[in-house]
Structure 1
Amino acid sequence: MQEKENISRILEETKDSITKDDPSKLKELSNQTINTASRTHDPDNIAIAVIVYSIGKILERKEYREYPGWREFHKSLISCIDHSINAINKNNEDDLRVHLELIRKKINKLSGNLKIYIQDVFRKASINKASKIYEHGISMEKTAKLLGISLWELANYSGQTNVSNVPLGKTYDVKSRIKLVMEMFS
C-alpha cells in the first residue's frame, strides 16, 4: 500500500462523514483517493475509493435505512473502518485488506432489496471509479483489470460519459507553434 497517511486520513474522514450523514463529502473523499490510485496503481487505494464512493451512494438513499438489517450494516461498517484505520496505524496491510474485504462481505449478509441495491451500488461504483482512473491516462485494459470489471463494461460506461473527449493538454494554433519554435531557436 502506498501513501498510508493519506489513506488513514481518508478513512478517518469517511468515518466522520458516515456519522454526520454527509454523502457528498464521501464522494469528494473517493475522488481524492482515485487521484492517488491513478498515480500509484495501488489496489488498496482503488478498493478504498470504490468502498467510500459506494458508502456515499448508499447514504444518499434515506429510504433504505428503514429496511431490516440497516442498523447492523451501519454499525459493522463503522467497526470495519475503525479496524482498517488501526491496521494502517500498525502497518499491517494484510489486516487492512481483510477489513476492506469484510465490508464487501457484510453486504452478502443483508436481506432483500437492501442487499440487491447495495450490491448494485458497489458494481456501479467500480465502473465509475474505473472510468475516473481511465480519465487519468491509465490504459482501459489495466484499469478494468485493477477494478475487476470487464473491458466491455468500462468501454460502454466511458463511451456514455465522453471520457474519450477529455482534453489531454492545451493545443496551440499553427501561428503560436511557429512562434514558439522561433523563440526556442533564437
Structure 2
Amino acid sequence: MQEKENIKRILEGTIKKIKNYDVVGLRELSNQTIHTASITQDPDNIAIAVIVYALSKILERPDYRQRPGWNKFYKGLINEIEHAIYAIGKQDDAHLRFHIERIAKKLDSASGKLKKYIREVIIKAKVNKASRIYEHGISMEKTAKLLGITMWELAGYVGQTGIPDVNFAKTMDIKDRIKIAEEIFK
C-alpha cells in the first residue's frame, strides 16, 4: 500500500462529493488518483480511481436514485467508504483492502437494471483509467495487467482517443536549426 494519505484524501472527498451528487468533482478526484497511480503503479490507488470514476457515472443518472434499493445501496456505500478511511487512520492496510473490496462488491450488489448498468460502468471505468495510465507513459501491457483488462480492450479505446497521436517531440525545421547554428558560431 503506497500513498495512504492520498487514498484517505480521495475517500474523504468522495464522501463529500457523493452526498452533494457532485459528478464532476468525483471525476476530478478519480483523475488525481490516476496520476498518483501512474507514478506508483499501486493497485490500491488504481482500485480507488476506478471505483470513484464508476461512482461518478452512476450518480450522473438521476433516474437510478428513484429505483427500489437505492437508499440501502447508497447508505451501504457511504458506510464502507467511512470504514476504509478509519482503517487508514489506524494504519491497518489489511482492513483498508478489505473495505476497498467491499466497496467494489457493494457496487456489484445492486439489483435489476442498476446492477447491469453498474457492471458496464465498471468495465468502462477500468478501460478509461487504463488509458489515462497509458497516457502517463506506462506500457500498454503493464497498464492492462494493472487494471485486469485485455490489451485488446485498451488498444481499442486508446485508438479512439487519439492518445498515440500526441507529438511530444516537436522539432524545428532544418532552416531554423541552421540559423541557430550560424548564430552560435559567429
What is the TM-score with the length of structure 2 in the denominator? Answer: 0.92
Counterparts of residues 11-50 of structure 1 (less than 5 Å): 11-50=11-50
Aligned residues: 186
1:64 aligns with 2:64: yes
Q: Deviations over 1:16-47 (max 9, x none)?
A: 00011101000000000000011111101100
Range moving further from structure 2, 101-110 or 27-36: 101-110
Pick closer, same or farther for the CA change 1:181–1:139 going to 2, 3 Å. Answer: farther
Q: Is the 8 A contact 1:87 1:95 kept in 2?
A: yes
> For 1:182 and 1:86, how far apart are their aligned partners in 2?
65
Pick closer, same or farther for the CA change 1:169–1:3 going to 2, 3 Å. Answer: farther
Range moving further from structure 2, 156-165 or 139-148: 156-165
What one-letter code is carried by the residue in structure 1 that aligns with 2:131? Answer: S
Q: Percent of pairs identical after alignment?
A: 61
Aligned to 1:93: 93
RMSD between aligned residues: 1.9
Pick closer, same or farther for the CA change 1:176–1:78 going to 2, 3 Å. Answer: farther
Aligned to 2:135: 135
> For 2:161 and 2:102, how far apart are their aligned partners in 1?
31
> For 1:182 and 1:81, how far apart are their aligned partners in 2?
63
> For 1:108 and 1:36, how far apart are their aligned partners in 2?
26
Please state whether the residue corresponding to 2:68 is helix, strand or coil.
coil
Q: Deviations over 1:134-159 (max 9, x none)?
A: 11110000000000001110011111
> For 2:143 and 2:71, how far apart are their aligned partners in 1?
34
Give unpaired runs (5+ residues) of structure 1: none
Give unpaired runs (5+ residues) of structure 2: none
Pick closer, same or farther for the CA change 1:18–1:183 going to 2, 3 Å. Answer: farther
> For 1:112 and 1:38, how far apart are their aligned partners in 2?
35
What is the TM-score with the length of structure 1 in the denominator? Answer: 0.92
Q: Is the 8 A contact 2:127 2:154 kept in 1?
A: yes
Structure 1 runs (4+) deviating above 2 angstroms are 166-186
Q: CA deviation at 1:108?
A: 3.1
